[in-house]
Amino acid sequence: MKKITPMLAALTLLTAGHALAAAQVTVHDLPGKNTLQINDAQNLSQLLTHPELRSWWPGTVIAERGATAVAQQQQKQLLADLRAWQADSGESLAATIGSVIHQLGALQVTGRQFTSLDPDDVRLRPQDNRTLQGSYDLYTLVQPTQVLVLGALSNPGKARWQPGREVRDYLEGHDRLSGAERSYATVIAPSGSTQQVPVAYWNHRHIEVEPGSIIWLGFTSWSLPWGQSDLNERMLSVLTHRIPD
């Protein structure tokens, strides 16, 4: 899969080398109610091998606090720009934009750091054992059994994950709304990496997805407002910074 370049890359504080001081890491349990505080981890290896830490590693998210503030501001600005576009659109397109605003506005985002959190990878590949400095949030989860089907389509929401089921199968029963892309969908893996998947009759490819993935249907380039051709990319950035649930 091709991973998009995170918009928060400039703020990444996970760097190789030795830590000058231990980081403060707040570990959030799946329901978001129980937390564990770890204050003695100097690098990812020390954090991920903590005896009280359990998670489904492919979808686990670590976030730097300063980057979280930026991610939340980017989400806020995106929603404002979508509302301005909605106000200047015809009825059918405005309804589609309104649905997307509702979906993206309901997400909780964080300053995700795009790095491997698999304890074996971190142990065996020294370059992946990043130094931790500052304050972080770690979001753990159990292995999901669903995928999210979202975007400019009808009935967005959760679908049961099934082995062997491809992207186009998950899109069945979801009508494309006004302004929706019809030839490609984007799959966002639990790791945050993305892949553009051909789904039209003329370019269809059989692509299966991992449990916990998001299947996102964006807008066609011709439907986007003048001067904001990056809206699809910005929507994907918000989705890749989503806190798993």
Q: What is the mean pLDDT of each run of 10 residues along the chain (245 residues)?
A: 42 43 85 78 94 94 97 98 97 98 98 95 92 95 96 98 97 97 97 97 96 98 95 98 93
Q: What is this structure's pTM?
A: 0.89
Give the separation between CA 75 and CA 73, rounded to whole angstroms. Answer: 5
Note the pLDDT of residue 35.
86
Cα distances (angstroms) measured from residue 148 to each of 85, 188, 223, 237 = 25, 10, 24, 16
Nearest partner of 103 among 78, 122, 66, judged by Cα: 78
Note the pLDDT of residue 34.
76
Note the pLDDT of residue 191.
95
Note the pLDDT of residue 169.
97
Sheet holding 194-198, edge to edge: 157-160, 146-151, 214-217, 184-188, 194-198
Give the separation between CA 124 and CA 119, rounded to whole angstroms. Answer: 9
Say if strands 146-151 and 214-217 run parallel, antiparallel, or are unpaired.
parallel
Give the separation between CA 12 and CA 156, rounded to whole angstroms. Answer: 32
